[in-house]
Amino acid sequence: MFAFTVSTFAQVEAYATASATIVAPIAIAKVTDMNFGNIAAGAAAGSVVLSPAGARTPTNVTLPATTGTVTAASFTVSGTLNYTYSITLPAGATTITNGAQTMAVNTWTSNPTPTGILSTAPGTETLTVGATLTVGASQTPGAYSSSNAGGSGDFTVIVNYN
């Protein structure tokens, strides 16, 4: 005959804890609006590229010695110190107008790009944005701007934690 031995094992337990850390929400605040400065249109269509550093590069337009106000858009991004974030720039063009006449602003660039890091205590970084302004042939003189009230002429920059 066969003999079977039955072994029994005692029940054992292990414990784990649950936890979570709530981090500061990421935020973005405009510091400075974008301004391409003074531009003299020519007989042919042209453009002005405004870098995130605020430097202008003209094509088929003249940049007068009296530059006017030239600034890349500037934002303060804030959140949790040393966290990285992604930057989403506008996908298309925005329109600036002087009433009846318009120009397009597109081909957005930023510094940093495509991600930033909130490395300045308490968790901030400056984000600057440049773009390209398309100037029509013999563009009508005047001051052009977007709606500047969250309307269709303004542009949106989005940041999200990685």
pLDDT tens digits, one per residue of 48-68: 999 999 999 999 999 999 999
Write down the pLDDT at residue 85: 98
Fold of 27-161: Immunoglobulin-like (2.60.40)
Which is nearest to 113 in space by CA: 54, 155, 51? 51
Taking 50 as the pLDDT cut, the residues of the chain under it are none
Rounded Cα distance, 129 and 88, in Å: 11
Rounded Cα distance, 132 and 113, in Å: 17
3-state secondary structure of 158: strand
pTM equals 0.87
